Amino acid sequence: MKHKDDMQSGEEALETYQMSDTEEFSTNPRQEMLVNLVNENQYASVEQLAAELSVSTQTIRRDIRKLSELKLLARYHGGVARRSSVVNVDYEVRQTTGREEKESIAQTVVDQIEDNSTVFLSIGSTIDIIAKQLLKRKGLRVITNSLNVAHLLYTNSDFELLIPGGRVRSRSSGVIGHTALDYVRQFRVDYLVMSLGAIAPDGMMLDYDFNEVSIVKAVMERAHATFVAMEAKKFSTKAAVEIGHISNIDVLFTDEDPPSELMKIIQSHNVTIKIC
């Protein structure tokens, strides 16, 4: 006699699931919970996820297929695992995931930035949203190595926008290389606003690309205040390139409390945490 899950697998194989243009690069709350569960546990079986999320294995398999196509998870026979710590997910995907959390974080960050100040904006989907909300400020000098940020701000005649020369990284539209690095070293900024790929349990801040990290580290040495803006789900992700310890920043903006051990480290170094 055929097992119920096997019958579901057969039905799923016959099902033609067409994603709309908006669905293609978006996830629903259940799928975001699934990603977080897998990132926390490294690997999970279809059955485990179905039980944890109170849905059928057919639904989980469909979610896994979509999340694998979006490069958020790595699909294996019978289950799913977290992706590599070396490569970040595609930018188009990051633009549409966790949008509500990023908007809330961005608003709180911008509220802390004073008019007529100098701001460096790094690279990332959260930083792009911060850039849009910065338009409410006045008289800013904005330095960025993100072409996406530059595109969002260049029409504002009240801002002075500065961009380094260098090589453009196609995955992120970031400007990198020795020319860019030499350029940013010429400035002292009031605020460095950056995002991360992950924060390790020992408080080490991590990201994915060595060249992008080199730019951020150079600016951090010359910033009066360093702001980190990141979603709480990154407390359970991995990245490979060290930026520096969390003790080197001034404010962490996120949407949920960090894990308890990391919270102790952050508080011991008098870093301000703003839950957005």
pLDDT digits (tens, 9 = 90+) for 123-181: 998 999 999 999 999 999 999 999 999 999 999 999 999 999 999 988 789 999 999 99
For residue 57, the surrounding DSSP H or E stretch is helix 57-69
Average pLDDT over every residue of 8-32: 52
pLDDT at 88 over 60: no
Domains with residue ranges and CATH for the chain: 4-83 (1.10.10.10), 92-275 (3.40.50.1360)
pLDDT of residue 151: 96
The three-state secondary structure class of 89 is: coil
Mean pLDDT (the chain) is 85
Residue 215's closest CA among 137, 276, 143, 114? 143
Range in 53-57, 169-173, 201-205 the model is least confident about: 169-173
Give tens-digit pLDDT for 243-261: 999 999 999 999 999 999 9
Nearest to 149 by CA among 135, 165, 138: 135
- What's the pTM? 0.70
